[in-house]
């Protein structure tokens, strides 16, 4: 599987070991060379970086989005979320509610 797509109003991207990451209306796959978006909002594509967060800068926040290193593998696919392996970490990604439930149940 090279790609998985989520259609949600609110996405989340959380690191598996400590749940840091971000939530927002944007979940995009970015070409690691050019930084250009590949696919549509909600797509997670192997070989790309994943960025999740706000489409607009959020005032007075410590961060506006979270970006991964390059996605190497889609490890697990569940209802509403997936577990992916990047070059550096394992992440939970997908619908914000589903990701929160998954992180709570680790």
For the segment 85-100, what is each residue's pLDDT rounded down to a tens digit?
999 999 999 999 999 9
> Structurally, how many domains does the chain consist of?
1
81 contacts: CB under 8 Å, gap ≥ 6: 6, 12, 92, 93, 94, 95, 98, 99, 102
Residue span of the structural domain in which 62 resides: 3-104
Euclidean distance between CA atoms 29 and 44, whole angstroms = 6
- Please say whether the beta carbons of 43 and 59 come within 8 A: no
Q: pTM here?
A: 0.90
For the segment 39-84, what is each residue's pLDDT rounded down to a tens digit?
999 999 999 999 998 766 665 666 678 999 999 999 999 999 999 9
């Amino acid at each position: 599987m090279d790609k998985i797509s989520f259609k949600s109003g609110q996405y989340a991207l959380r690191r598996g070991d400590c749940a840091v990451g971000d939530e927002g209306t944007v979940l995009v796959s970015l070409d690691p060379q050019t930084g250009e978006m590949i696919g549509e909002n909600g797509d997670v594509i192997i070989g790309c970086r994943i960025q999740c967060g706000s489409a607009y800068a959020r005032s007075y926040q410590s961060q506006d989005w979270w970006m991964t290193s390059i996605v190497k593998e889609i490890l697990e696919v569940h209802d509403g979320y997936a577990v992916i392996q990047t070059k550096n970490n394992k992440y939970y990604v997908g619908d914000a509610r589903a990701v929160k439930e998954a992180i709570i149940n680790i």
